[in-house]
Amino acid sequence: MNDVIDRYFETLIDRLADIRARQNEAIDRAAEACATSIAADKLVFSFGTGHGALPALEMFPRTGTIVGFRPIVESTMISFHHVWGDMGARQYRFIHAVEGYGEAILRSHQLDPQDSIVLFSHSGVNAVILDIALGAKAKGLTVIGVTSLPHSSASPSRHSSGQRLFEVADVVIDTGANLADASLRIEGLEAPVGANSTSLTIAIAHALVSATAEKLVRRGIEPMVMVNPNTAGKQAANAANDRNYDELWRRLKAR
């Protein structure tokens, strides 16, 4: 057995268990806010920059998610994986720290005070995520922050407000990921490897969507669920998912 592989999974499992034990109430409160928005015919936006965009994308439309969640995806905030050239790492490193850009993003979406928004940021200190958090809160949305308190509480804000995501959000879900994010030390290597914040936030995202669905059912509302078309029931699944897309469009048209 490879010790590094074993240690990585042990660390990830331990952190997931810690989230399960310590963050159940926070995720439940976040799900209550999301269910209230969806039940009122409104939307739950999700957003993150860099790798924080990945859990935001997972919330809809993929198998097991429900209508009402609405990811905000900015290509300048996520497409830096080839490092060099168009939308490279240096452009991302610059743009996510530019105050005012998040305000421009919000102006491209017609927000309603009864909406909610889920924001993913490991550090919770950079300009764009704070623009979005403060702007959404000013418009009356319930702001849910998924962030690392060990990292964020040890880092100064990079926004003129002087605030960090956990200080702005109405509900804070703490991933517990460490300051460096990477979790493994290898003898002979100075920097740690084995990042885990993305795995943790994606798990939180799906727990939140699932809890929201359960709360809607308890309210007597049947959530519209995305189903897997890659089965023998492809035609029925596609028909169900098309109805889901139509319902999302209905909600958007109302704005």
The band of 207, judged by pLDDT with boundaries at 50, 70 and 90, is very high
C-alpha dihedral (213, 216, 221, 226), degrees to nearest 10: -20
Q: Would you state the pLDDT for residue 74?
A: 92
Q: Would you state the pLDDT for residue 231?
A: 86
For CA atoms 197, 202, 203, 205, the dihedral sign is: positive
Going by C-beta distance under 8 Å and a sequence separation of 6 or more, which residues neighbour residue 132?
A: 47, 102, 105, 106, 117, 119
What is the average pLDDT across 116-136? 97
- Each residue's pLDDT tens digit, 106-122: 999 999 999 999 999 99
What is the average pLDDT across 134-161? 97
Distance CA 113, CA 115 (A): 5
The band of 99, judged by pLDDT with boundaries at 50, 70 and 90, is very high
Distance CA 28, CA 42 (A): 19
Q: Would you state the pLDDT for residue 157?
A: 95
Q: Would you state the pLDDT for residue 128?
A: 97
Q: Would you state the pLDDT for residue 76?
A: 87
Q: Angle of helix 24-39 relative to helix 197-218, nearest 10 degrees?
A: 50
Calculate the average pLDDT of the chain.
Answer: 96
The band of 183, judged by pLDDT with boundaries at 50, 70 and 90, is confident
- State yes or no: pLDDT of 1 exceeds 80: no
Give the architecture (CATH level 2) of 3-253.
3-Layer(aba) Sandwich (3.40)
What is the average pLDDT across 66-92? 93
Distance CA 134, CA 117 (A): 11
